[in-house]
Structure 1
């Protein structure tokens, strides 16, 4: 069983019933719906296809809604592309206009207020660089430092500029209502700057009675300044290296990635490494060696999941990209089997939390006694998440009566999530767990397994660890 989870973005290249079925069969654990593109109707069609295919195949898949956030984009242009030449001038105007190579507008009119003379303005993922040289109330005058072709709707980044826009835009609020209504499993917030941004999102979800889990996308310098508070506030962290590599110096990204993975381990939060993992496969049928090494090193560092973006949403080879990522992950995990796994222990101190203590104990049992499987019965998924963050080399069967909990566990490293019936007898529950393990080829007769559960049945917390020979 592959332990590292794979998130794949749904888009025009794969948004068909046949392709989505093939992606689920090929290893997609979480389907990402990118609300920077597409309509509610298009996303609803994709969501329904995912849910139907998942049920028919008997393979749970989580759905992540990725909110656009205050992403700034170039407005409409008079042609498909305009050429900006180094040394030339470009005016960014507050009023919405159809632009050309002399002046453009953008989706954030307040750019004129926020940018100061001397600030850098990056277009098209940083390929084009401008410098503000003057401003009035109605426009910014900029000098082109690095030129190139500019197309409509390309992204604009303002490194070092304090943006006055709220983290949750009006569009996000409309999209959030869609996500609640359609019961997505995860909701990702873009351009998180501080923990308050995540708390605001959580409060919006709570006020509508939603149990959707939050994902904080880390891509701005302000987020790094408040990173511990953000990690503690969010349910999941995504290291969004695309905008991060534009907002900050690109050479800083590897060290930030390693730091965030370690921090998420410390706080027992799932972490995703995202963006450009197999970028060349948008066009090519095979990856570069550097891309393969990038995936492997993220796994060796301790990521819980890796993500495909344009590779599956708009790429020419979505299924090949998914298969390649699964293959690299599996091979990397095999290479780690002969070594002691990286230590993922808690600093226990005086904690009285049984969930933490049991996860810690199970990890040591698995290592010392050579157990083949851990079976966790969970009502909320918390205990299975804690077990997952111990980074054991054996799989975890996460069993729950709740369909939403089962789907959420699809993101947890090393977890095979399965739905089970509600039990009134604990011995019957353990017996059924063993049968599920054998039926799903996770264990076989003669194996030692560890059960983790809350007893008596209905207990609100995990308090029981049981070692059994099948």
Structure 2
């Protein structure tokens, strides 16, 4: 039996031929990293997933405005602690220079600003400006290669939220029928709105996940939550941009904020990094995953582990087993969560909370929710009921979004039945699939009449 917490796996060279195996181990969503594929390869991967794991969802990750090192004059370039270096804002560097592909480099950086290279493994402090560029001193050294990532943790950068590459990926992604997009380096709610408008202009209607990896995103968290369909705690770049001792604090805050807004939240990066090279995880990794589950994350995502590691299938299996153990322990201490304030209408939220508490008190075996836009099952899921939530909808985009929500099993209906016919259809589906047994108590929740367009306003207990 699969865990309530969903598993997302990034595909790469080592896993393109292991899609069915990864799905069998518990993956329900496959991620394609737009930074590493061209349109032709991207379409090919989508086709592979559709043919080998037709029930899985596909997330296309838009790389965003990542600042990178340009072409170095020497490779690898050895940077020793204490060495003096010169940074220049161009695509290719001459001898003695480190080129940074960012037009505003010399304009925005100044004395005492830090520059992190290669995922933060190399750190440089800016000493000042000269006619030839920015003069700096290496604080932590290492070997630098061209195209490595660059971070400026002390300043906000002035970059568009979508690059030309992102726009190209967006177009082929919609044409290929990917299920959702994740947007890198989101800084404000307007970034999400811009992406959603482009998707709409291209004829698409799919969820957008905002990746939170910049200090500005943390400052604008509430407005991003309001605009995005879901969020990702992207701990890679976030761990470079903020103080390392605060990463866990920010992760906890983001998850709590997502629960308040009833938006799915994904926790990502280095969950099982040791399994890129080794068949077993470290104790710290297992503990990290356990606490992410207990904090309330909806999904956990592996990247390098399944895209380029030696043990992609084993990594997913370990992730699933740790999640299952964490959920089992959590269930032993299950208790009714108090009613909380949210941005949802009070009637809808109250009915959802009533269904959640009713299911707990009567010992329901499941909650059956009828929904058009997905807010009802999302509110229910935010309280983390011990019962599975079966969410019935005739909207493909809603079905996709709910596939990210912890403990929610979305069901796509073909028709638009109302009233008693709709209830009968939900019950019939549950029994035919063997999800619950005849005579089991369940809580039904939805809108009556369904076609009225009103928010959730009814619930009842029935025996199947």
Distance change in 2, residues 1:233/1:79 (3 Å): same
Q: Does the CA contact (< 8 Å) of 1:284 and 1:317 recur in 2?
A: yes
Contact 1:282 1:310 in 2 (8 A): yes
1:119 has 2:119 as partner: no
2:49 equivalent to 1:50: yes
Confirm whether residue 71 of structure 1 aligns to residue 66 of structure 2.
Answer: yes
1:316 corresponds to 2:310:
yes
Distance in 2 (CA, whole Å) between partners of 1:387 and 1:302 is 13
Asked whether 1:23 is paired with 2:22, we answer yes
Structure 1 regions of 5+ residues with no counterpart? none
Partner of 2:9: 8
Aligned partners of 1:346 and 1:62: how far apart in 2?
31
SS at match of 2:112: coil
CA offset digits 1:43-64 (Å, max 9, x no partner)? 1111122222333xxxx32222
Conserved? CA contact 1:346–1:360, under 8 Å:
no
1:184 corresponds in structure 2 to 178
Alignment-derived partner of residue 98 in structure 2 = 104
Contact 1:348 1:357 in 2 (8 A): no
Tell me which of 143, 146, 150 is aligned to 1:156: 150
Q: Does 1:241 align with 2:235?
A: yes
Q: Which structure 2 residue ranges, 5 or more long, are not aligned?
A: none
What TM-score results when the alignment is normalised by the length of structure 2? 0.93
Q: Measured at CA, do residues 243 and 459 of structure 1 come closer, stay the same or move farther in structure 2, by a change above 3 Å?
A: same
Q: Quick one: distance in 1 between partners of 2:93 and 2:41?
A: 27
The corresponding residue for 1:335 is 329
Conservation of the 8 A alpha-carbon contact between 1:344 and 1:389: no
Q: 1:208 — aligned with what?
A: 202
Alpha carbons of structure 1 residues 450 and 138: separation in structure 2 relative to 1, 3 Å: farther
Mapped partners of 1:344, 1:233: distance in 2: 26
Q: What corresponds to 2:86 in structure 1?
A: 91
Name the residue aligned to 2:349.
Answer: 356
1:378 paired to 2:377:
no
In 2, distance between residues paired with 1:159 and 1:247? Answer: 5
Deviates more, 1:377-386 or 1:155-164: 377-386
Contact 1:341/1:392 (8 A) holds in 2: no
Whole-angstrom distance in 1 between the partners of 2:377 and 2:284 = 33
Equivalent position SS for 1:32 = strand
1:455 matches 2:451: no
The offset of 1:136, in angstroms, is: 4.4
Which residue, 77, 85, 88 being the options, matches 1:82? 77
Query: What is the CA distance between 1:348 and its match in structure 2?
Result: 7.0
Change (3 A) 1:151 1:439: farther
SS of the counterpart of 2:27?
coil
| TM-score, normalisation: structure 1 | 0.92
User: Following TM superposition, by how much is the alpha carbon of 1:208 offset from its aligned partner in structure 2, in angstroms?
Assistant: 3.5
Aligned residue pairs total 462
Moved more, 41-50 or 455-464: 455-464
Between the aligned partners of 2:6 and 2:109, the Cα distance in structure 1 is: 40
1:284/1:397 CA distance change after superposition, 3 Å: same
Q: How far, CA to CA, are the matches of 1:390 and 1:11 in structure 2?
A: 35
Alignment of 1:262 onto 2:256:
yes
**Farther off after superposition, 188-197 or 106-115:** 106-115
> Take 1:160 and 1:296, find their aligned partners in 2: how far apart are those partners?
32
CA distance in 2, matches of 1:121, 1:442: 54
Deviation at 1:344, TM superposition (A): 6.3
Q: Which moved more, 1:38-47 or 1:69-78?
A: 69-78
CA drift at 1:353:
5.0
In structure 2, the partner of 1:409 is 402
Match of 1:465 in 2: 459
Secondary structure at 1:73 match in 2 = coil
Contact (CA 8 Å) 1:9, 1:308: kept in 2 or not?
yes
Distance in 2 (alpha carbons) for counterparts of 1:442 and 1:376:
15
1:191-226 CA distance string (max 9 Å, x none): 122222222222323333432222111111122222
